[in-house]
Structure 1
Amino acid sequence: MKGKLLRAEGDLANIIPIHLDASFFFERAVRSLDRNHVDKALKYFRKAVEYEPENPVNHCNMAGILSEKGDYEASNAILANVLDVVDPSMTECYFYMANNYANMDRFEEAEQALVTYLEEDTQGQFMTEAEEMMELLYYELDRPAKLNRIKSRKGVVEHDHARELLEEGKFAQAAELLEGMPPDYPDYLAVRNNLALAYYYMGQFPKARETIAEVLEQEPGNLHALCNLAIFHQNENRTDQVLLLIKKLRVIVPFQQEQVYKLATTMGILGQHDTAYVHFRRLLKAEETAADPALAHYAAVAAFNTGRYDAAERLWHHVSKLDPGSEVSPFYLSRLKAVQQDELQPENLSYHYHLPFDEQFKQWENYGNGIPEEMKNDPLIRSSFFWALRHGDRATKLQVIHALGMIGDYEVQQALQSFIQESDEQQDLVEAAQSVLNELLATEQHSERSRAVLPLSTVAARSIQNAAISAEGSQTESISHWQAVVDRALQMTETKAELQQEMERIWTDYVSRAHPEMTAMKHIEGWAAGLEYLAAKIHRRPVTYQSVADRYGISASTVSKYAKQINKVCSTVPPTV
């Protein structure tokens, strides 16, 4: 008996005890998956979660198996719980959720989850897969996703958007976006170069030079900065500095196409047409840019300005083939013919890919109704106007002021206002700009009064007026600008009476509280957009910063900025706006 007991005790001594913990069930789950026993694996992962409920990995593994089994709803419920309760930093869960939604053909929700992943995830572990899914969603929804940023790429989306704004002539919006770019953005010097251009186009020359100086201090040979600085100096008649930079730029032979293009256009603007022609010809030989009609036109202009008339003729005929509907090449071919037949004196041509301003104005007058709509919204035309307003001769500036009056949108009003405030402009130009601006504002106010919109309540009007009167500075200016905010918001929501009443209430409250610090509004569109966003939130309407921004033609960050500023004073909606 005793011996049997000893044997029994010996047997027990050789048994390895089983520790039932999360690791044990995790390994069992993995082993089951290897054997394709999916149901067993799911059961073991559930047990692992029971033992370690705070471990998000086990939750995600369980969600992954449910997804493989086709139970996408249950999978997303687990992933949502991870983000809400277990570990909100597990941003990859948004990517998993996007996959599940896509498998359920719920593409709107898939897009929302994917955008959240891209905007919040710092590592970019699934960037390649996310880009592929973005293409799928673009195909299914027939529109691009409203993506404000890709966090793992540190500002790439914001920088691209800023560059688009620059090309569209929306310099103030571009500057606002570029100013907010973090210094750790990988291409930060390019950001500063573009910011310098935005400042320059807005006429803020000291800030433009200061920004370029920062770039050159960090990278003395930065080609974009050197080119920008040379153009800045030329337009400020700093001949000695321009000549020094031309000497430096003439010997540079860049290989990247973007840099070749920058150098070519810069040398053309600086009057170095021979050098510009060489670089433009290089670009036309490249497969990626050979079919660009604007580039072929630039090469033709450089050829014409250097007396290479045969080459210019061939290039403009090439432009006609690349862009058959354009009036540019026929116009310049006729001018070239007139020069060759001694009917016209040769003068250096501009590198802009459009008709000369005087020719454009003649054509627009023939329309009878001013500038055609498609031309008003043409980014190249708009940016050319803003450029000419700053750097053209007196006659060109007068023509441009008249043309801008025919466009008359918010960006135009801002440009004219900035032009008027420049102390070194000729008095007659300032008076012409002021006259056009006054007409635009008067037309806008009349248009708003004639619309079938809910009028601003008497209480709101009184609050705004009283606030303006109690503030320092010009009473009239404050009243008109603060009134303009709610007028603009009402105009944009003219068929939504409930929203209009809410906006009036919020704005009345804000003005009455903020009046001691009141100054004239500098960004009416931003304030109005923020006001509309808050009103929509209160009435639980589906709204995002981006959806409002798109309607007002501004950035989502601008809507967010002004909405939060109003809400900070009024506490209209919870602070998560």
Structure 2
Amino acid sequence: MSQRRTRTAEDRQTNVIPIRLDASFFFERAVQSLDRCRYDKALKYFRRAMEFEPDNPVNHCNMAGILSEMGRYEESNSILRVILERIDPGMTECYYYLANNYANMERYEDAEEALIRYLETDPHGHYLEEADELLELLHYELNRPPRVSTIKCREHLFAHDKARRLLEAGRFSEAARLLEEILERQPDFTSARNNLALAYYYMGYLEKSMQLTSQVLEADPGNLHALCNLAIFCRHKGREVDLAELKGRLKRIAPMHPEHTLKLATTLGIVGEHGEAHRLFGRLLRYGALGEEPSLLHFAAVAAANAGDYDEAERHWRAARKLDPASPVPAYYLDRLEDMRAGREPPPSHYHYHLPVEEQFRRWEQDPAEMSRAIREDPLVRSSLFWALRGGDRKTKSQVIQALGLAADEEVVETLKAFLLDPSEDNDLKRVAVLVLRSIGVEDKLQVMFSGRLITLESRRRPPRLPFWDNAWQNVLDRALEGMADRYDMVEQHDMMTLWVDFLAKIYPRVPKVIRPAAWAAALEYWVARMHRKPVTYPELAERYGVSLASLSRYVNRIDEACGIREKLKWTSGVFWPNPARPEDDGYPLL
């Protein structure tokens, strides 16, 4: 009996889970207390975290911030001076915190001195707007202008603001060029480097994005924007181990600035930590630091829905609809809320204040003119399309590629060229991208990463341009690509696509209605086979595509009548690519 009792005691002992009383434990307790506005408890827990990690400036700064909120400004300043003098002199935002505390203590001369030090030494300008407001207050209280001689972060701030606006408008290549110029002049401009990483990411240069982000984190391991960007990049690349580590780090951060809180909340939502994102969005809404923005309410609703709190999501979407009745976004999700509750439809997967791309395409089918206008002029629509090109499913990406052809600007060309070089993207989608680039007038060589091999598609002269792209024309291409798969290489398939575009452009606007897409596809394959001296017969093609010999012959002749292929084949060697020494009657190569 005693042995049995002894085993029970031992069993109990092995089931005890020890609590690790380390800095992370007390940090998390402090954050929980902050969310409940229990500053006294938060102060106690941050003090313990600071004892465990005395050289961590973030813990000290958090303590200073809470003391300031409690009106204990002198104690807060003592901690801030310790940070600047002994722990991390490069944490220049502490000068702004000092100035703010001095102003609250009505020590305006000291506030001016600390604020000037902040403006002259801080390279990032995170608190520049707040510093401007404080300068106005000091001007009034001191009855003279503050003695500010230079503002370090403003040296390139105006250019950086312009680059940010370009990013928000979906003009990523323009933003990237401007940010590159800024970094050439000021290599330590961290915010510009972070935004350049984002621009590269949207343009498809993921490796360059990660390289830039790593550079930021080498210089500043705790940089919030870089950590958030890196988490999104790791998610895109499927680096789950690295992503899990980053999620853990991000969840331990308690940002004091509202803009930082918004960045952190949005990032956590994107990487699937919806519960944590919901908590941070809720804090922003409770404190009203960013105002009651419809987009913020939408983000909070998305997080709540993904966290399973559909009542809270409904409340946020209703509030957003009341604030922004012209936007279709809140109403769209309210209409689908019951399906979400019942599990018939998943909650939204993205944190953007616009309709899902699939829904946008559905509405544009009823109004093609609006589609063209929106893609050219609406920055939200443009950015949503670029985002979908990176994160959408195969069907969505195909729709986006074709839709971007309507804009046909430098941004679209750069983005689609980068898409062709992405080894993770689908080969068939790259074929569509090549077609769109040729159809909008891109003449130069195109490099394509096709099945792990880098292929160069030679330049075209005066490529034709069509005013729009019909779904029926795309059906012909899809059928031809399906029939030519595993029989023709990427170059030959590209020739087929170019031939189809050339044919349509030559006969436009008298394009016949496409009733038999398979017959047109078979005719295209016939001519490509002839160009490349591949053996093929009418009966073989007719059987493989399931069409009649008469239909195939008729469409082969229609294509030849428009493009004059038979005549050109008489004086060519059968190689499709243009030769500079070869005469070309109208400036087109072969076609």
Give the TM-score normalised by the residue count of structure 2: 0.48
**Structure in which a larger fraction of residues adopt helix:** 1
